Amino acid sequence: MRKEDKGRLIESIGAELQKYPYVYVVDLEGLNSVDTAKLRRLCFKREVKLIVVKNALLRKAMDNLDIDYSEMYPTFKGQTSIMLSSTNNAPAKLIKEFRAKSEKPVLKSAFVEEEFYIGDENLDSLVAIKSKSELIADIIAALQSPAQNVIRALQSSGNTISGVLKTLEERGE
């Protein structure tokens, strides 16, 4: 590959890395073409960008960015792909779901919420991280709960009082 082509490729990888706050480095080696196509379709549906990259070019692209990704560099061995996402746990959930039917992809490393996760043993931790929309839903549910309890209490006591009054009226008291 010519030096100019490598330079453009490094810039292209760097531009993609800057678009997405969450980076997962995975190993897809050994996946056949059918499974790779399934994985790509699943990534597209979940809005996860999957890019197969050369280790040296990925490293050079990361060196040119503001974030220091050097903790991830030792995992850049063998075949490497990156999964980029705007949702922190989307790639982890996708990997876990896909691995129910296959041994791959294997998580090499990830950069999520300003933290580095090295090794496949961190996959469950990454799946458990709540996304922004999940956190907002939890907060709304927590805020709604007390209000719903008050409304239920008022409704049930209103029914009780009206029932008592109706019973007293029927008795003629």
* Per-residue pLDDT reduced to its tens digit, 6-30: 889 999 999 999 999 999 999 999 8
Query: Residue 160 pLDDT > 70, yes or no?
Result: no
Q: What is the pLDDT of residues 68-104, one digit of tens each?
A: 999 999 999 999 999 999 988 999 999 999 998 888 8
Rounded to two decimals, the pTM is 0.75
DSSP H or E run through 85: strand 80-85
116's CB contacts (< 8 A; 6+ apart) are: 71, 72, 109, 110
Q: Using an 8 Å Cβ cutoff, are 117 and 82 in contact?
A: no
DSSP H or E run through 138: helix 132-171
Phi, psi dihedrals of residue 64, rounded to the nearest 5°: -85, 0
Task: Determine the Cα–Cα distance for residues 157 and 168; give it in Å rounded to an integer.
Answer: 16
- How are strands ordered across the β-sheet holding 115-118? 49-53, 80-85, 22-27, 106-112, 115-118
Instruction: Count other Cβ atoms within 10 Å, centred on residue 74.
Output: 10
Which of the pair, 126 or 156, is modelled with greater confidence? 126
Angle at 86 (CA atoms; ends 110, 54), nearest 5 degrees: 45
**% of the chain beyond a pLDDT of 90:** 56
Tokens 């890019």, residue located: 51
